[in-house]
Amino acid sequence: MDFKTADLYDAHGEALRVCEPIFRDFGGQSRFAGPVVPVKCFEDNSVVKSTLAEPGEGRVLVVDAGGSLRCAMLGDLIAASAVEQGWAGVILFGCVRDSVEIGQMPLGVKALASIPRKSQRRGEGQRDIPVTFAGVRFAPGDWVYCDEDGILVSDRALDP
């Protein structure tokens, strides 16, 4: 992917939504973009696992995990599934684990922190609904652009 979020912002300005700078890079790809698939779940990664097991087709899973710092919603096994299925990345308003392994994968991952505790699996969560965190709204059909400088959200695909 050949773009810089700073250049995209300069070209498109206020038409873009800019996430608050609260995320760290955990994946092996710091620069990634794609159509948004939003999910909402709290300390239960069932919907994260099932969604990333589907063909990704270059999409980005955007997870509103409520900002929980108590457990990880993504680990190396689920991240490996995302790579195998062709996902471009994951933006996680929550935590990861297995950060060294995830950092070696060709997957973009932005999250708040890393923690060794795994989440529960109770089969809870919602998919394909608008979610809001880090000061912006993510909806089905939106596009995200991520790099070392941050995350931009657009209503449509942009020409870099």
Ligand-binding annotation for 77, yes or no, is yes
Query: Within 10 A of 132 (CB to CB), how many other CB atoms are there?
Result: 13
Looking at the chain, the number of H-run helices and the number of E-run strands are 4, 12
Helix/strand/coil percentages in the chain, nearest 5: 20, 35, 45
Please tell me the distance from the alpha carbon of residue 22 to that of residue 66, in angstroms, as a whole number: 14
Ligand-binding annotation for 97, yes or no, is yes
Closest CA to 111 of 97, 134, 93: 93
SS3 (DSSP) at 124: coil
Binding site per annotation, positions for substrate: 75-78, 97
Binding site per annotation, positions: 75-78, 97-98
Binding site per annotation, positions for Mg(2+): 98
